[in-house]
Amino acid sequence: MQDQPLTITKTDLQDMMVATIKAAREPNSTEQRKIDADDKEFEQAQSIRLQTAESQKQEIASKRFVAKTCTHRRKDGSYRVTHVQERNGPGYMLCLWNQCKIRPGIAPEGYEGIDVYSTDKFNELFQANPAMGEIFV
């Protein structure tokens, strides 16, 4: 049998080259195992990050609850707060027990922190401090 002449067009040659390059770029079994292991490690790391974020949210919620329910008093009835003066404004009262801040006014829109915004509570604590006496409204 004689070999028939083979004719290849330019597009046929390009298609063959593209297919060959794609096949050469595909990972072999060893490389694929490493890629799979890396993917699994990434997923585990993401899971750990998600768990950490959830625990941080719970911790913040717990601190916020403690800050809002704290009486800021010692057993003898005296207050365990101190006034911290800020550069602008009335400052805040700092509870020495749980380190929460009691600020006068209303919390900013969308505020997610643990500071307590209560003008009444701030005035009560401010007046209870013997060095203070001024009321902020």
64-68, 77-81, 126-130: the lowest-pLDDT one: 126-130
What tokens were used for 101? 């801040």
- Supply the pTM of this predicted model: 0.59
What tokens were used for 44? 């585990």
Q: Which residue from 109, 99, 30 is spatially nearest to 67, judged by alpha carbons?
A: 99
Q: In the block, which residue shows the tokens 């694929």?
A: 32
* pLDDT of amino acid 112: 83
CA 62 from centroid of its chain's CA atoms:
15
* pLDDT of amino acid 137: 44
Region of residue 123 (phi > 0: left; psi between -120 and 50: alpha; otherwise: beta): alpha
Per-residue pLDDT tens digits for 3-59: 778 788 899 889 989 988 888 888 888 888 998 999 999 999 999 999 999 999 999
